[in-house]
A = this chain, B = another copy of it.
Amino acid sequence: MGLNSNRVDHYSGSAHATDQSSMPSSLPLHTVCLPPQKSTLQKLRHRLSEVFFPDDPLHGFKNQTRFTKCVLALKFFFPIFEWAPNYSFELLRSDVVSGLTIASLAIPQGISYAKLANLPPIIGLYSSFVPPLIYSVLGSSRHLAVGPVSIASLVMGTMLNEAVPYAQDPVLYLKLAFTATFFAGVFQATLGLLRLGFVIDFLSKATLLGFMGGAAVIVSLQQLKGLLGIVHFTTKMQIIPVLSSTVQHRHEWSWQTIVMGFSFLAFLLITRHVGMRKPKLFWVSAAAPLVSVILSTLLVTLFRSKLHSIATIGHLEKGLNPPSSNMLYFHGKYIGLAIKTGIITGILSLTEGIAVGRTFAALNDYQVDGNKEMIAIGLQNMAGSCSSCYVTTGSFSRSAVNANAGAKTVVSNIIMASTVLVTLLFLMPLFHYTPNLILAAIIITAVIGLIDYEGAIRLWKVDKLDFLACLSSFFGVLMISVPIGLAIAVGVSVFKILLHVTRPNTGVLGNIPGTQIYQNVNRYREARRLPCFVILSVEAPIYFANSTYLQERILRWIREEEEWLAANNGSSLKCVIIDMTAVTGIDTSGLAMVKELKKILEKRSLQLVLSNPGGTVMEKLHQSNILELFGLDGVYLTVDEAVADISSAWKAEP
């Protein structure tokens, strides 16, 4: 392998001939290295650290004194210690403004989302008080506005209500809701502690787009109950029962509710549009829900006698969150349902919370650690389940308002929680005459933005299979159920990965004249095939799932090349080079395939050489003794060196 070799130029007059005049006339050849030797234990350690600690979270701890390490650990587990020492009056001013702004949004949304989960409205306010306080101590995002969110509320409401309708047994329903919240928290914190955060990555953006869209459609249609004033409405969640229930109960429609409901809906949608068009006017959309609540409550209170057909929230207890740890439900018939609901709402709320946290961190140039965030959200839910709260996470809409309003730290969450506290202690009676229709309008305004049809069109343009995943989660949620819709979409996504591995791209490479570059001849018109060689690239790891396919496909490439040669200039194929650059792994089935291919080609007097096998591939070829079959001059570092060396060997022969 150490020999210097001259470039081939004894092939001429063939259609394949390349112009190699600009090539250097001699090049040293390089041997392909094995990766540095490691024991099984070292490899396992490396693998595990890549799986669980890809971000090397403890890198700041290296080479520090013990005291510094303690301080760092405190800051690591309680990010509040990170920013608290440098907290200034200026920061506080920003945080107070943004905290009050999100409170004005959080109070009406909290009440509405609790309705969405079929829970008493006050649970929504409880959930906007305790969890944000816990998050402000543990969380590392500076812009996350914590509280109930629409998707998790919807999913919890659906899954529980289909089994145990709230109207039938409100106490059992509440128990199950708190228990599901507890399990959601345990699941989230466990994922974070075990550093299994990547589990949520399996809900791809495309899947979530479809899922959110489907959920938003269902939720909006369900709000027809409030907007039309229907009293008896289906508890089912599929689109067909919801629509037919709306039509079936048309005698319950109330024109006063309809007029008032759609007017406020129009108001909210217009202010939302204004806020989106001109980011400086974000406060218009932020204040609109509270304004609508106040206005509609005033209207109903003043014209009570004429508007008696409009349903209102009714009496709400004053006072702080009552403890609810005695309501957790750890045995009995519905425990499975509670755990399942907890896991699904847990994973969905995590996905939203982490995505929101990452988005605003990237926009403001700081980092959030996904696994730490999971622990924070998990603990906030566990604590919440013991203080009459249901599942909470970082809300996308409120976090956006929070960031726009100039939030600098999580103190804005503390301000918001304090405002909710004041409301809970003193202002609850004011909500007595708040009409349900306004809650429906607020929910529709909040979820309508989730229907991102432009995003779906972009998916179609860029990636058809992603579009399919999106579509299947959309229709799965709309037609069947939330868990099945999600399962189908994850299935499609995983199938996509498997398809990519099962049927990888292969292609013939050619030399770009005047360079040492070899590229696909179909893509680069200037790339020229070399006579007597066929150079193939394989673009996937060689695994059990594709080894048979690859063997057949490679033999077909060779057959096609031979047929072409036979038809054109009669010269014969002598050497097959497989460019392994993109072969990122190989398993025992793949190794057997390489061995068999080598034997088959040897029988046909064709030389098979490999170019640039990667570290792990090289190691496995070595361990399985297949490298010996190829010998020292059967594996080259680049295609170019392989061509040069083999051609010069032929030239040297008589």
Residues of A at under 8 Å CB distance from B?
Answer: 24, 27-28, 30, 33-36, 40, 44, 47, 50-51, 54-56, 59, 198, 201-207, 358, 362, 365, 370, 458-459, 461-466, 493-494, 496-505, 512, 514-517, 519-520, 522-525, 539-541, 543-549, 552-553, 556, 559, 581-582, 584-585, 587-589, 591-592, 596, 599-600, 603, 614-616, 620, 623-624, 637-638
A539 CA / B614 CA spacing, docked (Å) = 9
List the B side residues contacting A55 at CB < 8 Å.
Answer: 552-553, 556
**What copy number does this chain have within its complex?**
2
Q: How far is the CB of A206 from chain B (nearest CB, A)?
A: 6
By the criterion CB–CB under 8 Å, are B206 and A544 in contact? yes
Known: A522-B35, A599-B362. A517 touches B202 (CB 8 A): no
By the criterion CB–CB under 8 Å, are B584 and A540 in contact? yes
List the B side residues contacting A464 at CB < 8 Å.
Answer: 40, 44
By the criterion CB–CB under 8 Å, are B54 and A615 in contact? no
List the B side residues contacting A599 at CB < 8 Å.
Answer: 362
A73 CA / B559 CA spacing, docked (Å) = 21
Q: How far is the CB of A262 from chain B (nearest CB, A)?
A: 36
List the B side residues contacting A44 at CB < 8 Å.
Answer: 464
A502 CA / B543 CA spacing, docked (Å) = 16
Q: How far is the CB of A47 from chain B (nearest CB, A)?
A: 8
A523 CA / B59 CA spacing, docked (Å) = 24
A545 CA / B286 CA spacing, docked (Å) = 35
Q: How far is the CB of A119 from chain B (nearest CB, A)?
A: 33
By the criterion CB–CB under 8 Å, are A497 and B54 in contact? no
List the B side residues contacting A458 at CB < 8 Å.
Answer: 588, 624
A556 CA / B49 CA spacing, docked (Å) = 14
Question: Could you jot down 18 A-B contacts, CB within 8 Å?
Answer: A24-B24, A28-B514, A54-B556, A55-B552, A59-B559, A198-B549, A202-B544, A205-B589, A206-B587, A207-B544, A362-B596, A458-B624, A462-B623, A494-B498, A497-B501, A517-B637, A582-B582, A582-B584
Q: How far is the CB of A92 from chain B (nearest CB, A)?
A: 27
Which of the residues B500, B600, B614, B623 comes within 8 Å of A362, measured between beta carbons? B600
By the criterion CB–CB under 8 Å, are B503 and A549 in contact? no
**Given known contacts A198-B545, A198-B549, what 4 new A-B pairs fall within 8 Å (CB)?**
A33-B523, A54-B503, A203-B544, A581-B582
By the criterion CB–CB under 8 Å, are B494 and A549 in contact? no
A311 CA / B544 CA spacing, docked (Å) = 45
Which of the residues B24, B47, B202, B204 comes within 8 Å of A587, measured between beta carbons? B204
A548 CA / B199 CA spacing, docked (Å) = 11
Q: How far is the CB of A464 from chain B (nearest CB, A)?
A: 7
By the criterion CB–CB under 8 Å, are A544 and B615 in contact? no
Known: A206-B587, A600-B362. A201 touches B545 (CB 8 A): yes
By the criterion CB–CB under 8 Å, are B201 and A546 in contact? yes
Known: A497-B497, A498-B494, A540-B584. A202 touches B545 (CB 8 A): yes
By the criterion CB–CB under 8 Å, are B206 and A588 in contact? yes
List the B side residues contacting A203 at CB < 8 Å.
Answer: 544
Known: A35-B523, A582-B582. A544 touches B30 (CB 8 A): no
Known: A30-B515, A556-B56. A587 touches B35 (CB 8 A): no
List the B side residues contacting A59 at CB < 8 Å.
Answer: 556, 559
Q: 6 shortest A-B CB distances, which residue pairs?
A: A204-B544, A539-B584, A582-B582, A55-B552, A205-B589, A462-B623
List the B side residues contacting A497 at CB < 8 Å.
Answer: 497-498, 501, 543, 545
List the B side residues contacting A33 at CB < 8 Å.
Answer: 523-525
By the criterion CB–CB under 8 Å, are B553 and A54 in contact? yes
By the criterion CB–CB under 8 Å, are A462 and B520 in contact? no
List the B side residues contacting A522 at CB < 8 Å.
Answer: 35-36, 615
By the criterion CB–CB under 8 Å, are A592 and B205 in contact? yes
By the criterion CB–CB under 8 Å, are A36 and B523 in contact? yes
Name the residue of chain B whose CB is nearest to the CB of A593. Answer: B205
Name the residue of chain B whose CB is nearest to the CB of A493. Answer: B544
A497 CA / B620 CA spacing, docked (Å) = 17
Which of the residues B202, B544, B552 comes within 8 Å of A54, measured between beta carbons? B552
Name the residue of chain B whose CB is nearest to the CB of A604. Answer: B365
Q: Which of A461, A504, A587, A616 has the most CB of B within 10 A?
A: A587
Name the residue of chain B whose CB is nearest to the CB of A23. Answer: B24
Known: A462-B620, A556-B54. A502 touches B588 (CB 8 A): no
Q: How far is the CB of A611 from chain B (nearest CB, A)?
A: 11
By the criterion CB–CB under 8 Å, are B54 and A461 in contact? no
List the B side residues contacting A539 at CB < 8 Å.
Answer: 584, 614
Known: A522-B35, A592-B205. A581 touches B581 (CB 8 A): yes
A587 CA / B202 CA spacing, docked (Å) = 13
A559 CA / B24 CA spacing, docked (Å) = 38
By the criterion CB–CB under 8 Å, are B54 and A463 in contact? no
A40 CA / B467 CA spacing, docked (Å) = 13
Name the residue of chain B whose CB is nearest to the CB of A624. Answer: B462
By the criterion CB–CB under 8 Å, are A615 and B549 in contact? no
Name the residue of chain B whose CB is nearest to the CB of A550. Answer: B54
